[in-house]
Each structure stands twice: as structure tokens, then as C-alpha cells.
Amino acid sequence: MSELNLILLGPPGAGKGTQAERIKVDFKLVHISTGDMLRAQVAQSTELGSKAKEYMDRGELVPDGVIIGMITERIAEPDASDGFMLDGFPRTETQADALREALDASGREISAVVLVEVPDEEVVRRLAGRRVCVKNSAHIYHVEFDPPKREGVCDQDGARLVQRDDDHEDTVRRRLEVYHAQTAPLIDYYDDLDLLLRFDGLRPVEELHKRIRATLASVRMQQRL
């Protein structure tokens, strides 16, 4: 098997999104963000999207089976033949078991699990310090790492900068509690399967990217032997 099929793991604020964009380009992988995929399927009124919408309209969580169905359909498309990268799924051991069964049925398997590790206090520091422009949410600053020229004012359009609700410190800490309770057990799960690759998320972005790229290149080469 020469395809490279990855799962990204790590706490919120670890920098997974930044690394995912680079890995996608490095290895020409389909990046599957389950949140984005779910919204797209609902918007397109696909069969699975319609099922998901029924649950969402009732304020219920979309069942794992529906999400797995969407993932299975997506990775069967031609552009995913060289590999894919899952971001945001699985989040629990039950979901990991379901994903493994679905991939087995399609004759595919996970090549590696990329874990970006960052201590809780650093996550709080990163997320609680973010400020977003009320006019353009793509304009993002940080009170410590990337402050605006004028406090509370966007450099690009002069609009007010605000802290998003999910970036408040108490909310970030609750998100971390959920991560440790539900998702962190996947670290041992995939370590036991000899798939886990650990990376220090405190390293500079470029250095972290180079380490991940080199390690994944080695994984792909081993699969081709």
C-alpha cells in the first residue's frame, strides 16, 4: 500500500490546522475536516446530508454511522486514491473502532496518526489571547504574539477587535477537559497499534513542519518497499 492515510490528533490550539494545510500540499492528500464535510453534505442535500440535517434540526448529535458513511464516500472519490488526512474524527475510541471497521471493509487502513502535543497552559495562552476583527473574521491578532498597532483596533480596516466566546479562558479550559476525557485516550489506542507519531507543538511552525514532513516521507517510503 503506497497511499498515505493520516489522522491528526492534538488539543485545541495545538496548531493542527496550520500543519494540515502544509501536509496536504506536501503529500497531495485530501484533507477531510469532518465539520466542513458535514456542512457541505447538508448544503448539497445529499442522502447522508439529509439524514444528518434531521438530527441537527432536532438539536441532536449526528450519529457516528452517518459521519462514517460520509467519510467512506469521500475517500472513495478518485482524488483520494493517493491518501487522505482526517481532521476532527475520530474523537472517541468508539468512533475509532467504527472507522477501523469501515476502512477494513473498503480494503484500506490508517498509515499513521500525527499527534501534535502542547501543554494545557500553552493552549490557554494561545487561544485566550486571540482577538478577531468584527468586520472580517480572517483578520486575527494575538495580544502577546501578534498584537495590533493600536490596542483593540484592526490594522487593516480600523474595525473593533473582539474575543470570540469560545476563546474565553473558562471556555478553553472546558474544551480541554472534554479533550482529555474523550479524545486523549486515542493516544494510547493508536500507540498500541504502533501508528502514533508524536511531535512537540511548542517548536516553531516551520521547524515542526519540517519534522512532520520528514517523518511522513519515511512512512510513505516504507509502505512502498
64-108 pLDDT per residue, tens: 888 888 888 888 999 998 899 999 889 889 999 999 999 999 899
Domain of residue 47 covers 4-119+181-224
Task: For residues 175 and 40, give the distance between their C-alpha atoms in angstroms, rounded to a whole number.
Answer: 25
Rounded to whole angstroms, the Cα distance separating 23 from 180 reads: 25
Distance CA 26, CA 160 (A): 37
Residues with a catalytic annotation lie at 16, 91, 130, 164, 175
167 within a domain of the structure (yes/no): no
Report, as an integer, the average pLDDT of 27-34. 90
In the predicted model, is pLDDT for residue 132 greater than 70?
yes
What distance in Å separates the CA atoms of residue 195 and residue 189, rounded to the nearest whole number? 9
Give the 3-state secondary structure of the chain: CCCEEEEEECCCCCCHHHHHHHHHHHHCCEEEEHHHHHHHHHHCCCHHHHHHHHHHHCCCCCCHHHHHHHHHHHHCCHHHCCEEEEECCCCCHHHHHHHHHHHHHCCCCCCEEEEEECCHHHHHHHHHCEEEECCCCCCEEECCCECCCECCECCCCCCEEECCHHHCHHHHHHHHHHHHHHHCHHHHHHHHCCCEEEEECCCCHHHHHHHHHHHHHHHHHHHHC
pTM of the predicted structure, to 2 decimals = 0.86
Q: What integer pLDDT is reported at residue 62 of this predicted model? A: 79
- Reference 83, options 217, 192, 194; nearest CA is 217
pLDDT above 70 as % of the chain: 98
- pLDDT: which is higher, 198 or 46: 198
Please check whether residue 143 lies inside any domain of the structure. no
The pLDDT of residue 39 is 78
Q: Residues 93-109, buried b or exposed e (16+ Cβ, 10 A)?
A: eebbebbeebbeeeebe
Residue 12 resides in a domain: yes
pLDDT in the model for residue 163: 95
For residue 65, the model assigns a pLDDT of: 85
Average predicted confidence (pLDDT) for the chain: 91
Residue 93 domain flag:
yes
185-198 residue pLDDT tens: 999 999 999 999 99
CATH of the domain at 46: 3.40.50.300
Q: What angle do CA 22, 124, 150 make, to 5 degrees?
A: 85
Provide, rounded to the nearest whole percent, the portion of the chain with pLDDT above 90: 68
Which range, of 1-5, 8-12, 144-148, 201-205, averages the lowest pLDDT?
1-5
Task: Note whether residue 36 is domain-resident.
Answer: yes
- Between 63 and 194, where is the model more confident? 194
pLDDT tens digits for range 165-216: 889 999 999 999 989 998 999 999 999 999 999 999 999 999 999 999 999 9
Domain assignment of residue 160, yes or no: no
The domain total for the chain is 1
- Residue 225 pLDDT: 66
Within a domain: 163: no
Top pLDDT among 69 and 119 is at 119
154 inside domain = no
Q: For residue 127, name the pLDDT band (cuts at 50, 70, 90).
A: very high
